[in-house]
Amino acid sequence: MLPVNDLTAVGAILAAALMYVLATVVIKFVFRQKKEDILSRYSRLRRQSIDLQTAMSGYLLEGNTGKNPIDGELTFADFYRQMKSNHISNLSDKYLSRVKKSNNPLFLTKVEKNLEEQEQKLKDAEQLIATVVAI
């Protein structure tokens, strides 16, 4: 039989090990949940961007000139090209694949901030072209 001091030390070691395992499980769960939320938001914004580009493309294909100014000196065609470029840079399949594969919390925080920016850009774009194209 172990002396009381040894039992206390063994108990403290077991408690520390249990706390470590529990903390690891909780952190992984929270991370996984955050990643799922980010992927869901990404998919929603990606779809929104594609729908907006489709509406803009349809407007241009109907024979409407893309040379009409939409905001100051920015033409509708230039705005459409900017939308496509922004989508490729920030909401593409390639970028989505990087997000899915990443287990880096710092990268996911960066993605989350990027999605906030994209959400605002899409909202602004919808408002800007709502007067020209029926979305």
pLDDT, averaged per 10 consecutive residues of the chain (135 residues), comes to: 66 85 85 93 95 89 77 85 93 92 92 96 89 66
Count up the domains in the chain and report the number. 1
Is 28 part of a structural domain of the chain?
Answer: no
Helix axes 4-61, 76-90, angle to 10 degrees: 160
Task: Tell me if 123 is assigned to some domain.
Answer: yes
Task: State the residue range of the domain holding 53.
Answer: 34-129
Q: What is the pLDDT of residue 44?
A: 96
**pLDDT on residue 17:** 86
Q: 118 lies in a domain?
A: yes
Q: What is the pTM of this model?
A: 0.77
- Residue 17 within any structural domain of the chain: no
